[in-house]
Amino acid sequence: GAGVSQSPSNKVTEKGKDVELRCDPISGHTALYWYRQSLGQGLEFLIYFQGNSAPDKSGLPSDRFSAERTGGSVSTLTIQRTQQEDSAVYLCASSPDRSQETQYFGPGTRLLVL
Amino acid sequence: QKEVEQNSGPLSVPEGAIASLNCTYSDRGSQSFFWYRQYSGKSPELIMSIYSNGDKEDGRFTAQLNKASQYVSLLIRDSQPSDSATYLCAVIGGNTGKLIFGQGTTLQVKP
């Protein structure tokens, strides 16, 4: 594809429900990153994939958050038992290699937990 | 101390002026530095990268790096209203190898 795509673009859910957010990186990009951006805040690193493995999960805020990547391409970020503080924009980025230097961002998923 | 610090602003400049955006970082081993622009409601886009001390120019944008002072800045010459956005400084930590973002500085260019 032409760029990183994410779905859904917007998600409204009730507290306690599970949500899945999807990221489709640029074709051929081996590295994939998930970030969270709360209103008026900077980007908070969540997790990094190199291929299908996640060498750095240090940013996941709690065990309610998990992510996987299959086939070295699409990634899914799952939030279980959502809380109101999970409301944010979840951004995915990909880069051609593990250097992290040139990251291309997707449009984000805006999550609102009521 | 935050790893990457920016003044959140807003920084307001008149059209045609030079906008100066500043960023400091705590990891002295950092080697790679980036500026991203983020329009309201949009995702960040990379506009400049710099790796060596000194200035790097690209069109109306100049990035400046001073590793001794752990300081990186972005100058925007002949500012336009279309430059109004949040500018995010990002640094690859020398110890972690991880890209760390600052909180961003909001720039307003007034016609």
The number of C-alpha atoms within 13 Å of B93 and in the hemisphere containing its C-beta is: 14
Question: Which carries the bigger pLDDT value, residue B54 or residue B98?
Answer: B54
Percent of chain B whose predicted confidence (pLDDT) is above 70: 97
The mean per-residue pLDDT over the stretch A96-109 comes to 81
pLDDT one-digit tens code per residue, B23-33: 999 999 898 99
Average pLDDT of every residue of chain A:
91
B104–A42 CB contact, under 8 Å? yes
A7 touches chain B (CB under 8 A): no
Inter-chain contact A106–B43, Cβ cutoff 8 Å? yes
Alpha helices in chain B (DSSP H): none
Output the CA–CA distances (angstroms, integers) from residue A20 to A8, A69, A110, in the order listed: 9, 13, 12
A74-86 pLDDT, tens digit per residue, is: 999 999 999 999 9
When mean pLDDT is compared over A39-53, B53-67, B81-95, the highest value belongs to: B53-67
Chain B residues inside the 8 Å CB shell of A48? 98
B contacts of A41 (beta carbons < 8 Å):
103
For the cut 70, the answer to whether the pLDDT of residue B1 exceeds it is no
Encoded tokens for A2: 């032409």
Q: Please report the sign of the dihedral spanned by the C-alpha atoms of residue B70, residue B35, residue A106, residue B84.
A: positive
Q: Which residues neighbour B44 within 8 Å (Cβ) at sequence distance 6 or greater?
A: A43, A91, A105, B36, B37, B38, B88
CB-closest option in A101, A105, A107 to B49: A101
Instruction: Tell me: pLDDT of A98 over 80.
Output: no
- Using the predicted structure, report yes or no on whether residue A59 has a pLDDT greater than 60: yes
A 63-102 near B (Cβ less than 8 A): 91, 100-102
Q: What is the pLDDT of residues B75-97, one digit of tens each?
A: 999 999 999 999 999 998 776 67
